[in-house]
Chains A and B, each alone.
Chain A
Amino acid sequence: MPRRRAARLVAAVAGAILLAAGCSGQGGGGGEAGADGELTVALQFPPRAAYAFDADDGARLQSLGVAETLTTVDDAVQPAPGLATSWEQTADPRTWRFVLRHGVTFHDGSPLTPDAVVTALRYIAGVTAPPRSIRGIGFTIAADGADAVRITTAAPDPVVPLRMSSGNLGILAPAAYTGGQPDVVRTGTGPYVLNTVNGTDSAVLVRNDGYWGPKAGAARVTVRYVTDPQSRALALQSGDVQFAEGLPNASLDQLRSAGVDVAEYPAARTIELLLNQSAAPFSDLRVRQAVTKAIDRPVLAAQVLGGAAAPAADLFGAAVPWGGTAPPPGADVDGAKALLAEAGYGPDRPLQVRLWTFPNRPEMPVLAGAIQSMLGRAGIGVEVTVGDYSAQEPDVLAGRFDMFLNSRSYLSDYPDATSTLTSDYTCAGSYNIDHYCSAAYDALTARLPTVTDTAERQRLFAEAARVLTADAVGVMVVHPLNTAGSRGASGFVADPLGVRPVLPPLSRTDT
């Protein structure tokens, strides 16, 4: 009978589905969270280029706890011992001597030696596009005795120890460098051994029991790269993973109510409304100040982005010790109108500008729309265009735009702001989109290459940021927040700088 056959068919389909579920051996929601001391985590960013050091994948290996660098940084963003235990600038101020840690072995069993460090760092210095941390500084390296290396730069460089903390300068065993791209499987020194790599889908780490420092918290970690934030949240809720980073802001309350321990912490990133100062109207300081006054940054952070960002008072935020943490003032529409009137704009001569942004970061079009509305209240007409960044870049770099909403990390490979302050805001800066040019500012940042003292450098960073704010270079709109959640795991330590291992401190709590 057809009806009976249909019922059989439905039963067969349901049976097949249940059989498939049963094949996992783990059931469903538990995913791979089974054995004692095992973790499954969902990370936001897959390796870009098979863990290549010149594609920022070194930072991923560092975050996983697989590869290590000569130095790391402490909470005051000062260089701290890593694979090197001490360092000093030699009599020749262009050369730094780094003493290597004793008793360190790579995951393949070979010892950490000066020659191994030289091999690793010469490789990365010789690629077509070397990492920013050592690009253009005339980097050379040589072994110095049985336990040290000497790093020399073309000019005296006070931040070489900080540069060496960049994840892209990770040091692998000499055997990793025999082919083309270094082989990252079982060649690091970190608390976790990269055991298997499954493209951009997943990787498996196992604990390095011979690690020279504190042992990793789990015997084995399955790393799943999940690009969709909502999927990461659902995986955490379902118990597929015990830790996930980059959670969607809209899901945080739901996750908390489901027992997820959610951490929100600042990211070293600023969303900035860049104003083209190479032409009218933004060559006029009063117009730039009017735009700044018209934009209500606390409202953008709290309401438009739903708390997923902190309002920005200046270029640097709470992620760095020299960043501003005081909230900026709210909108002053009357003040903005008055400044515009001074500059010759008003109802009889309304100001009409174009605002460009790109959709790769979903918050950008949302912010652009809100800014359009806020500026409209001050009498500034804004035409918003959301387009492809690649197509926009040549025009914005050439000064053929009015306003450009950009999202930018203010630290480069290592926790020092010189690179951003120079490339983005000096007269000759290669990424000086707003075409700001101030002799006083250039003189201030020109002092940075000679300042060795970290505290003094940080004071100069803060001062440079204050100059940019005073000159209304652009509107520093918000600093996005990072998020991470754990359920069934503990030990997460937020690292706003993004230069320290994330996975090694995590351990399983529900087994």
Chain B
Amino acid sequence: MLGPLLRRLLPLPLILLAASVVAFALPRLVGGDVTRAVLRARVASDAPDPAVTARVAAELGLDGPVAGQYLRWLGAVLRGDLGIGYVARTPVADQLGSALGVSGLLTGAALALAALVGIPAGVLAARRPGGPLDRALSAAGIAGIAVPEFVLAPWLVLVFAVGAGLFPAIGWGGPEHLVLPVLTLAAYPAALAAQLVRAETIDVLGRDHVRLARAKGLPERRVLWRHAARLALTSVTSLSGMFVAGLLGGAVVVETVFGIPGVGRLLLDAVLARDLPVLQAGTLVLVAVAVVAGMVAEVAQLALDPVAHDREADR
């Protein structure tokens, strides 16, 4: 499996270079003066003071030609220096590292829960399509897909924090703080996984190799889980890479509602404050994670799907 993975990683530097251009250019295309935006983020109601603005622009390295700024930034990144955040004035690597740790834990827990719930639910629903269990799980799945996070999160807080007093409503630190955010984040991928696995399993159960397995007298449970479900998992596996990248940087709503210091909030604040070093480095890191996660998912899919594996081996 190492070969396919390495083959897929080859274009990564080019992708990152293109991403660096986009990450550098986008905040500057919005218009307005970046230095003023940074000053406003630091001191909200400040009136423009040209002398101060010029001094801060020089301090931030925003006073030269844009191409030079890009090359300086890229050079520093290649040396492993992500710079200092304009607003918090702490190293971007520290800010990003801390936020990635939080978001990584949140994403990992949410995807694990989604897999634990969604995959078995999809397989079980596929056993008897149209049966009571299938209909109940389908209804739950549709709800999981349809109810947005900004509705689900406050609802969970109202029920489990305000009503039952089981979990804290806000905060980050102990394992108790993980429960409601993870439930919120897991709902959509769990529901989607259940729907996908159900459809795939129903399809696979009708294929020749499954009929052959049944004809050989294998127990139904073995047929279902070893022969049908394993193949059905390929579609979920290929999607998991997308979910990793999406949840890592895109859990802004959940992070905001529960007061969690994750990557989504960090980048949202950076966008609003035009904190270019945080924004640029954050975008690059998330693109890298998305690309790598997608590649890992593809390779995992090869491992699960013998046909695709053989096709890859022939290349």
Contacts and interface: CB of A to CB of B under 8 A. Distances in A.
Q: Do A and B come from one complex?
A: yes
A230 interface: yes
B32 A391 contact: yes
Interface stretch (A109-117, A231-239, A280-288): A231-239
B283 to A, nearest CB: 18
Interface stretch (A221-229, A309-317, A340-348, A465-473): A221-229
Given A23-B174, A55-B87, A129-B55, A239 B165 contact: yes
A interface, size bucket:
35 or more
Interface string B17-48: 00000000000001111101101111111111
A366 interface: no
Interface in A1-44: 1-2, 5-6, 9, 13, 17-18, 20-21, 23-24, 26-31, 42
B45 A234 contact: no
A225 B259 contact: yes
A12 B178 CA distance: 17
A12 to B, nearest CB: 8
B272 interface: yes
Nearest to A40: B171
Interface stretch (A298-306, A324-332, A423-431, A502-510): A423-431
A409 B46 CA distance: 10
A246 to B, nearest CB: 13
Nearest to B34: A390
Given A56-B44, A409-B45, A21 B161 contact: no
Interface string A366-398: 000000000000000000000011111110010
Contacts of B55: 128-129
Given A55-B43, A390-B36, A430-B49, A200 B168 contact: no
Contact of A430 (B48, B56, B166): B48
Interface stretch (B4-12, B70-78, B112-120, B302-310): B112-120
Contact of B221 (A2, A31, A431): A2
Interface string A391-432: 111100100000000001100100000010001100001110
Contacts of B52: 128-129, 135
A26 B42 CA distance: 37
Interface string B137-174: 00000000000000000100110111011111111111
A209 interface: no
B176 A48 contact: no
Interface in A319-363: 360
B216 interface: no
Given A129-B52, A388-B32, A390-B33, A237 B162 contact: yes
B228 to A, nearest CB: 12
A391 B50 CA distance: 17
Given A128-B52, A238-B157, A391-B32, A48 B42 contact: yes
Given A199-B98, A390-B274, A393-B36, 4 more contacts: A28-B161, A54-B43, A224-B259, A237-B169
10 contacts: A20-B176, A24-B176, A29-B164, A42-B259, A55-B89, A231-B258, A231-B259, A237-B162, A238-B157, A241-B170
Q: When A and B form their complex, which 10 residue pairs have the shortest distance between CB atoms, in order from nearest? A: A29-B165, A390-B32, A431-B47, A24-B176, A391-B31, A28-B166, A423-B47, A55-B42, A238-B161, A20-B175
